[in-house]
Amino acid sequence: MKAIAIRDNSNSRNTKNKIFLGIVIFFSLLTILPIILIVGELVVKGIGQINLSFFTEAAPDTLQAMVAKANGETIPGGIANGITGSILIVVLAAVMAIPFGIITGIYLYETPGKRYSNIIRDIADILQGVPSIVLGLIVYLWVVKYITHSYSALAGSVSLAIMMLPLIIRSTEETLKMIPGTLKEAAVALGVPYHKIILRVLIPSSFSGLLTGILISISRILGETAPLMLTTLGNPRINWDITHPTSAVPLLIWQFYNDPNMVELIWSSSLFLMGFVLTLNIISKRISAKHSIH
């Protein structure tokens, strides 16, 4: 074999290698810049507005806000109607989605190879990707038009429950898959009835995994605005009737944003919402991290 003249390109390649590392670090830092800026901006602008009445009073109307502003006073009121509305809607959604999600997840775990299970799994995957605004549209057609005949907390809950359902199904199945099969076999060998195996073995031994899935799905739906605009509309007062229009924290932010007199209130309510969602997120990650060590 003839010797092939090889040009020494090591200098330029080593330089390129270093430049590339620089680029990677630069873009990685650029990626986390927004989260730092966003959190920083909300904290700086929002923290001063948070006080006791923020949690106990309903949102002001635009006139109250305008008068307060004209007199140089702080805008009165809080976001209690939003907080109570969010609690009502999310709890209702969770009550609807969690049992069915867990039941379906257990079913998928118990019948892994079946064609029907594969179809259910594919549907759950597709449903997970459906834009939330489309869910709002559909639930408007179902609940607002035919069941409550008005915008309602129930309608909002149904749309959020549809968001939660596939998340719970998949997280339940994935969690159950991680349980050692011997655990179940031991129970079966002892002649324990099937429903008791589920209630006494499967669910308790996968509890932290299920909880993580539930918390993550709740943190996903808590910040949702778009479907609620089409289903619960909003309410200036605290409302606990699920057939009536109801406010929610993200809806209030949207309302404040669109009202020049109240626009200053967006920062505190956004800070509150984001803080809540991120805390839930972090708690669920902690639980799942602990879980995976064992």
Partner 1 sequence: MNENIIEVKNPVLSIQNLSIAYDKGGKYAVKDVSVDVKRDSITAIMGPSGCGKSTLLRAINRMHELYPNIVTEGKILLNDEDVYGMSTIKLRRKIGMVFQRPNPFPTMSIFDNVIAGYKLNGIRLKKSEREEIVETSLRDVALWDEVRESLFKKGTFLSGGQQQRLCIARALAFKPDVILLDEPTSALDPVATARVEDLLVELKKNYTIVLVTHNMSQAARISDNAMFMYLGELVEYDKTKTMFTNPKDSRTEGYLTGEFG
Partner 2 sequence: MNNSDKITKYFLFAGSFLILIVAGGMVYSLVGGAIPAFHKFGWHFITSTNWNPTEGRESYGAMPFIAGTMITSVLALLISIPMAFSTSLFVSEYFRKTPVASVLSTLVDLLAGIPSIVYGLWGFYTLRPVIMHLGLSPQGFGVFTSGIILAIMIIPYATSLSNEIIVMVPNELKEAAYSLGATRMEVIFNVIVPNARSGIVASYILAFGRALGETMAVTMLIGNANKVPHSLFDTGNTMASVIANQFGEADGLKLSSLIAIGLLLFVITALVNTAGKFIIKKLS
Q: Which is nearer to partner 2, 78 or 136 (CB)?
A: 136
Contact call for residues 57 and 236 (beta carbons, < 8 A): no
- Are the C-beta atoms of residues 264 and 97 closer than 8 Å to each other? no
Tell me if residue 163 falls in helix, strand or coil.
helix
What would the x/- binding string for partner 2 be over residues 170 to 209, using CB under 8 A? -----------------------xxx--x-----------
Tell me if 223 sits within 8 A of 273, measured CB to CB: yes
Nearer to partner 2, 36 or 47 (CB): 36
State which residue, 94 or 254, has the beta carbon closest to partner 2.
254
For the chain, the C-alpha Rg in angstroms (whole number) is: 25
What sign results for the dihedral spanned by CA atoms 120, 126, 129, 135? negative
Structural element, H or E, at residue 85: helix 80-110
Contact in structure between 61 and 236 (CB atoms under 8 Å): yes
Binding mask 130-149 for partner 2 (x = CB under 8 A): xxxxxx-xx-xxx-------
Q: What is the Cα–Cα distance from 214 to 146, expressed in whole angstroms?
A: 29
Near partner 1 in 3-22, by CB under 8 A: 3-4, 6-11, 13-14
| Binder of partner 2 out of 44, 56, 61, 125 (CB under 8 A) | 125
Name the residue nearer to partner 2 (CB basis): 65 or 198.
198
Q: Which does 133 bind (CB under 5 to 8 A by kind): partner 1, partner 2, none?
A: partner 2
Compose the 244-263 pattern: x for residues touching partner 2 by CB under 8 A, - for all others. Answer: ------x--xx--x------
